[in-house]
Structure 1
Amino acid sequence: MPDRQTQFWDLATWAEDTSPLYAYLCREAAADDAVLDLASAVPEGRQAPHLLLAAVHYLLDRNPDHRLAQYYPSIVADSREPDDECFPAFREFCLDHADDIRPLLRTRRTQTNAVRRSAVLYPAIAQVARAADGPLALVELGPSAGLNLLFDRYRYDYDGHVVGNSDSPVTIESSVRRGDPPLPETPPVIRSRVGIDRNPLDVTDAADRDWLRALIWPEHEDRRAVLDSALAVARDDPPELIEGDMLDDLPAVLDGLPTDVSVCVVNTLVLYQVPEQLSEALSTFLEDRMTQRPLHWLTGQPDLSGGESVGLDWKRRTDDGIQTTHLVDYEPHGAWLSWLP
């Protein structure tokens, strides 16, 4: 993994078009020894810039009178653009609140629950349900707070074509750039749903909800609004989340599912965060399970170096063996999708 300074430079480049504030802060932080030293509290293998920015966002929301808050549109209505006073305010906040920031850096993770990504899962799971010709048992690996496990409780607007749960208070907008994805008027039937995560977030816990909000970049008001409405839905009937390892604990989870339905295992942006050997072991295990019962695997690609989009593959067993179909490319937060089959 790149060193801390390089991580900040990389995120500055990534954020340039979508978060001028974070792009600016990352560029400045990459050259500041005190901020880099604070970021060293992040355990190896995790992204220090993302966690530091989220920790500051989390604490700043509790300290809205600090001068740094003027630059956060998520906190003040009429925010300032980054200027010469912005990074000094950020640095000051970091150092003044270092004792509160360090525990967050050590214990929290980058677990952005991108609810809009459900707009990609809706047609993908519909494709699986069509092939299975019946209800599904849904299992998500790395679900964070499990909001995408509840994809069938949301309404979707694809360029004016509205589908999904018509009574939902959550409307997710996405654009179809290419292809003809299956968009049934009503959601696929889900018999059971469960997620496995090393550190699942509890939608009924205020601190966990605030952490999810803090992970959303300050300028992304639409994402924050969708998150808040999805959290309200989830709190009424939270998804079942199991704290555990997605490989070690998956066998027991699969064994506990209803036996009269097909299984759909889902992971979107998870595999890029795990060692290659674990990803390969997971693939071997699931392909073996496909020989024992109807099981479909919607899996995100482990390599995120392809540019502005990421992909989702559909793996299942056919008479000709294991078949893989690259279903869809999409903007990482679900703002648009290109359907490929």
Structure 2
Amino acid sequence: MRTNIHAIARSHVGPALEPVRAQRELRRQSAVARTLGSSFVGNILASAARQIGQAPRLCALIEAWPGDLAAAAVAMRLNAGLHALAQQGGMPDLTALYRNRAGNFDAAISSAFALCEGELITWMAHPTQTNEVGRAGALMAALMTLQQTRQLPVELLELGASAGLNLNLGHYRYELAGRTCGQIASPVCIAPEWRGAAAAVAPVEVASARGVDLHPLRLSDADTRERLMAFVWADQDCRAERLAAAIQLARLHVPALDEGRAAPWLEHQLASPQRDGTWRVVFHSMFMQYLGDDERRAVMTRILQAGARAQPDRPFAWIALEWRADRSAVELRLTEWSGSGEAAGRSRVLALCHPYGDWIAWQDQPFAGR
């Protein structure tokens, strides 16, 4: 999609299209944002739905977008582009709207669409890469649960790692169900609202951590840091502060991050020898929705094959924090292979989670075949 964005936008000539698809998706995501606690982003997207006709090429791009607009997070790409324009300060009305979180939404958004349509189209080429550090709370809870099966160091392999901030989950402090764990002195604190029974707490030793992304974000680049901050919803100061702290920490603990497609990278990593006495863990968060059907099947095939090869002294696990197929909830799922010959592994849903990690509803269902 990155290489086709401008071609699709340029292809529009003649009268403006009726923005049926664009308005429907922007209004849907506006309602979602309100449900998730961001009235400001809800207002931004609702205004964008009303004013999208001021940007005919942008509107045509969204109308012609291949595939599912929700799965591609098209509204969130546009939201981030508007946030970035406000941060840059070149449009005073838009900057004031974001600073005050109140004002004439339609006037500011209409002006941005009319004057900065090209910049916003460029933003649409960027997949949403929030690299949300808040999700590390759910991921760490899953790793601590894994330690209840066997307490071993973990080798982490992350798919869709973005800037690699969640590869640093071993460097963060956690407040989970009223208990403090992780690196107590860390400047990054993950403290989700906890619902349900408390998860087991256990030390997690990260022996190694490596990730891949099709377009990894390099935090040494100032524009990249600005882009990453723009994906944070503008009225969620705690998320922004936590992300800024995680970015700063990543300059001391630089994540091991590769560029490439998930399936071949995973095949290569899983072919490398696994140390005896370690868990090898593949994990991903809000990633599968961006894959095509073929690559999704290839990724899952490689994971299942690796699980089937697990040995008692080299167990394997898969942690997935992903939307359900109907997008009704985000599930935290843990699948383990202990090396006793179970081809499908033992799989269970540990929790339902807020998409950005604000809360975790722990349920820890019994194991079942995947």
Amino acid aligned to 2:318: W
Q: Is the 8 A contact 1:4 1:48 kept in 2?
A: no
Q: Is the 8 A contact 2:47 2:106 kept in 1?
A: yes
Pairs within 5 Å for 1:185-224: 187-224=203-240
Q: Which of residues 251, 263, 266 is equivalent to 2:280? A: 263
Q: Which of residues 237, 243, 247 is equivalent to 2:253? A: 237
Measure how far apart 1:255 and its partner are. Answer: 2.5
Residue in 2 that maps onto 1:282:
299
What do the CA deviations read for 1:262-317 (whole angstroms, capped 9, x no partner)?
2100012111232344333322221111122321001234526454x411111122
State the number of aligned residues: 329
Which moves more between the two structures, 281-290 or 137-146? Answer: 281-290
Q: Which of residues 295, 319, 322 is equivalent to 1:298? A: 319
Q: Which of residues 40, 44, 50 is equivalent to 1:21? A: 40
Distance across 1 between alignment mates of 2:25 and 2:56: 10
Q: Is the 8 A contact 2:91 2:112 kept in 1?
A: no
Which moves more between the two structures, 20-29 or 187-196? Answer: 20-29
Residue 104 (str. 1) matches residue 95 (str. 2): no
Residue in 2 that maps onto 1:61:
87
Residue 115 (str. 1) matches residue 136 (str. 2): no
Measure how far apart 1:197 and its partner are. Answer: 1.0
Q: Which of residues 64, 85, 94 is equivalent to 2:113? A: 94
What do the CA deviations read for 1:80-104 (whole angstroms, capped 9, x no partner)?
424xx22221121232222333323
Q: Is the 8 A contact 1:29 1:36 kept in 2?
A: no
Distance across 2 between alignment mates of 1:41 and 1:54: 16
Amino acid aligned to 1:208: T
Pairs within 5 Å for 1:38-49: 38-41=58-61, 44-45=66-67, 46-49=72-75
Which moves more between the two structures, 240-249 or 22-31? Answer: 22-31
What do the CA deviations read for 1:135-163 (whole angstroms, capped 9, x no partner)?
11101111111111111111112354211
Which moves more between the two structures, 130-139 or 243-252? Answer: 130-139
Amino acid aligned to 1:23: G
Residue in 2 that maps onto 1:170:
188
Amino acid aligned to 1:104: W
Gaps of 5+ in 2: 1-19, 365-370
What do the CA deviations read for 1:4-38 (whole angstroms, capped 9, x no partner)?
23211211111124222322232232243223632
Q: Using structure 1 for the length normalisation, give the TM-score.
A: 0.89
Q: Is the 8 A contact 1:55 1:101 kept in 2?
A: yes
Measure how far apart 1:61 and its partner are. Answer: 0.8
Q: 1:174 to 1:304 in 2, by over 3 A?
A: farther
Q: 1:269 to 1:257 in 2, by over 3 A?
A: farther
Distance across 2 between alignment mates of 1:218 and 1:15: 12
Residue in 2 that maps onto 1:315:
335
Q: 1:91 to 1:65 in 2, by over 3 A?
A: closer
